[in-house]
Structure 1
Amino acid sequence: MSQCLNPDCLQPNSKTTIFCQKCGSKLLLTDRYRALKILGQGGFGRTFLAVDEHKPSQPYCVIKQFLPQAQGTNNQQKAEELFQQEAIQLEQLGKHQQIPELFAYFIQDHRQYLVQEYIEGQNLAQELAQSGAFSETKIVNLLGDLLPVLAFIHQKPLIHRDIKPENIIRRKSDNKFVLVDFGAAKAATRTALAVTGTVIGSAGYVAPEQALGKPTFASDLYSLGVTCIHLLTNKEPFDLFDVSEGDWVWRDYLTVKVNNTLGQVLDKLLQQGTKKRFQTAQEVLEALQLTEKPISPPTPQPDIELKSAKGVNYEQLEQFLKAGSWKEADEETANKMLEVAERTKEGWLRVEDIDKFPCEDLRTIDQLWVKYSNGRFGFSVQKRIYESLGGTLSYEEKAWEAFGDQVGWRVYGNWLYYDQLRFNLTVKDGHLPLWGYWGRVVAGCGGWLSGAALLSHRDL
């Protein structure tokens, strides 16, 4: 289907049509982008799912059409400025894996258009409606994943000014949180911050100083805090604020457990006074104990001979690791270990499979991980941590849990699911590889036993 973009028509057409069969409007924007269907509509315009017909694979993209609802000359002019500003801000931000990439900005048929990357997935408002209140672990994961994105934005320096569940999408491909809608973003120069500006933001999430037209970086952190308590309670922000006391009462609406550390962080994010809040995203990460060690530049190391007692090819694993594709490398590690043990069909390894695992293959896998992570990941790194915590060949629950805490597989006493874990160099030493402990290599109680056996292997 090809969607007509004329606001007075919006007639669906066949996918190969060049001109709308009803109104005669041209269906291809800049002879390249074809709208397929309407995704949504807001105060500034409509968004369409589209395809880029200039590329052989015709990938999806998003078309934003400027179509303001506000009346009056001044409102119209301000809306036009904000729409154009979104394109400028996205261009200035450059490429970030958790911010939609800007593809194009242009005017056609006297209307402004912006074309950007399509993020497949649900926004957090949709996820909340579908799944109910978020758990403590999900909130910590959200903060750990999104705060570095805010730090990146603030360094540009920009203030997003519209952090809310609808503007955070959990990307379907990797469960990463993507921050969208930069139409309200504001350049945070010293001069700009000193001048009272237009009040922008979503009611309920806006920081007090932003409501007065004076946003700061801490304003985004406040909005993120409101977003978190909304997700934790499944209650609208207005219901969580006691106007007579001038304070947040979000704990009164909790149906899930929240530990003291997270609770104190949220309370500080929600402070009415700007100076009483966290001032930077990094401060929040430190308070949550999610700060990461500085990454040292890699030290050149000799090539590793890809030995295998079973004739297994490790070239693809090396390519993934060399490219920093940690999740793909993790999955490839599991596949190769299953292949070596001739357990691909079963999809998991037993303790006896670990005991008999050829030393050549185990060392090859470990050396590749150690080399390309600059000594931060690998079975031998995990073994060193495991043994320092009292871990032995025999599975002991306390040692295994302490190990999970140390490498970041557990948060506040809860084991994370595989899709909640992060695959980048900001994680803790020993965090990877891990697919074997959670997925196809080992499973259930036997998984912990096999994990202990692996980290106690004589050849590491």
Structure 2
Amino acid sequence: MLLWTTNQSLQNGRFIVQKVLGGGGFGITYSVIEQTTGKLFVIKTLNYIQQSKADFDLQQVKFVNEALRLAQCSHPHIVKVNEVIKEGELWGMVMEYIDGQDLAKYIDERGQLSEQEALRYINQIGQALEYVHAKGFLHRDIKPNNILLRRSTQEAVLIDFGLAREFQGGKTGSMTNAKTEGYAPIEQYERRGTFGAYTDVYALAATLYSLLTSEVPLPANYRKTGIPLHPPKQFNSAISDRVNEAILKGMALLVEERPQTVREWLELVNPKLEVDSLTSAVGMDYKTLRDLLAAGKWQDADEETARVMLAVAKREKEGWLYDEHLDNFPCEDLRTIDQLWLKYSNGRFGFSVQKRIYQSLGGTREYNEKIWDAFGNSVGWIKDGNWMYYEHLTFDLTAPVAHLPWEVLNLVGPWSGILDTSGVGGVSSLASRLVKCNI
């Protein structure tokens, strides 16, 4: 049996095992420290149960495929996979270390969450699932235990893609019937069934049920025998009628009675999540920005973002902004611009993504060269140690997370057309305004 122990050296001394973080039906995770950098990482391997199976080699192939699926994902609410390693006969998946706790432990400590807080996490995981579904596969194990909260930002991150599978919506197929009782829909109890985005919708709705009630919902196979699901409002009278009904709709036993996509369900839970309402406090028209983003014309959208922000601030004639203009920028407009970028980039681009990374590095309104350089490296504005010119940026979805938007940042504070002196004021001021606007 291949199990790692505290202080064990891996990869010829590159990593040192710190401790076991946890495990499930398939895997076990360890925290490790990379000796050359001092950074913490998580390495996941198959657990002793899987290692004892006759088809262990096949299970390892599936495990590596899980890593490949995750490596395709670059989203602020999905755990990042860095690489795959092999230690002896055991494959390991090297992932980012997230300082925080899972939602199951979080509600164990705090009890029922408020509707506002629970919906914030559900919306974030919903965005991650929309991204996953667009790539053609299902997660199939959404539950509070598989959602971590970053301690620094209180943002939700989806983990454990061990049951993730490719799917073609509306087609009958066979999948392993591994599942988590209470969160798995009825089709996951069957060897062959019709799987689709609605499969994850059920689990996401069940997760919201749990966050608001501190109860695990009645398993779908029990419900199929005629035992009714207690409405969540029965356990928590503070739940609104809208959310109560949306949870029950999302957890409908019959596939055809559920919302067919995560977006459809999220709009039932909270209609305000629809980002294409294009609301503006000053009557600004955001249709052009929306259409450019929807068409994937990222550079044009970047320039349009700068144009509309100058117009909102009434600085078109001057052609630049001061910190005070961002400090007073309408929250409603900033939210619309940010959500449009988030939606059409599948969570890769947007001011709120830039804020999260900038602040995670210790960034404040005060200029700090080391932090600014670290931010530039993180978002891909530095190449081979040199800051890039605007025309050399990557204007497509292969760009690093938070790479865009940029042009509006060049309009704030000192600027010279090269990124090392441009953007400092824009990022710091925008980050401050986003915090005040609760974005």
- The TM-score with structure 2 as length reference comes to 0.63
Q: Which residue number corresponds to residue 246 of structure 2? A: 265
Cα displacement string for residues 397-432 of structure 1 (whole angstroms, at most 9, x for unaligned residues)? xxxxxxxxxxxxxxxxxxxxxxxxxxxxxxxxx999
Q: Structure 1 323/134 Cα, relative in aligned 2: closer, same or farther at 3 Å?
A: closer
Partner of 2:425: none
2:95 pairs with 1:116: yes
Indicate conservation of the 8 Å contact 2:218/2:229, yes or no. no
Displacement of 1:185 in angstroms is 0.4
Any conservation in 1 of the 2:169–2:197 contact (CA below 8 Å)?
no
Deviations 1:65-105 (A, max 9, x none): 2234155424x355334322221211222x21111111121
Deviations along 1:301-322, whole A, 9 cap, x unmatched? 56426499xxxxxxxxxxxx99
The separation in 2 between residues aligned to 1:162 and 1:254, in whole angstroms, is 24
Q: Partner of 2:433: helix, strand, or coil?
A: coil
Shift of 1:183: 1.0
- Root mean square deviation, CA, Å: 3.8
Report matched runs for 1:48-447 at 5 Å.
Answer: 48-55=30-37, 58-70=38-50, 72-74=53-55, 76-77=56-57, 79-93=59-73, 95-189=74-168, 193-213=171-191, 214=193, 215-238=195-218, 245-251=226-232, 253-287=234-268, 288-289=270-271, 290-293=273-276, 295-296=289-290, 297=301, 298-299=303-304, 300-301=306-307, 303-304=319-320, 306=322, 324=351, 325-326=354-355, 372=408, 433=433, 435=435
> How far apart are residue 268 of structure 1 and its match?
0.8
1:135–1:256 CA contact under 8 A, matched in 2: no
Q: Is the 8 A contact 1:330 1:435 kept in 2?
A: no
Q: Distance in 2 between matches of 1:146 and 1:36?
A: 29
Question: How many residues align structurally?
Answer: 317
Q: Is the 2:45–2:91 contact (alpha carbons within 8 Å) kept by the matching residues of 1?
A: yes
Note the alpha carbon deviations across 1:87-135, whole angstroms, 9 max, x for none.
1211222x21111111121322111111111111110001011101122
**Mapped partners of 2:409, 2:263: distance in 1:** 23
TM-score normalized with structure 1 length: 0.60
Cα deviation, residue 30, structure 1 = 5.3
1:281: how far off?
1.4
CA distance in 1, matches of 2:82, 2:319: 39
Cα distance change of structure 1 residues 90 and 174 upon mapping to structure 2, 3 Å threshold = same
Query: Which is higher, the Rg of structure 1 or of structure 2?
Result: 1
Amino acid at match of 2:11: L
Identity %: 23
Gaps of 5+ in 1: 14-19, 21-26, 309-320, 337-368, 375-429, 439-460
On the 8 A contact 1:82/1:184 being kept in 2, the answer is no
Please say which of residues 288-297 and 111-120 is displaced more in the overlay.
288-297
Match of 2:26 in 1: 44
Residue 291 to residue 252, structure 1, CA distance change in 2 (3 Å)? closer
Runs (4+) off by over 4 Å:
239-244, 300-303, 305-308, 326-336, 434-438
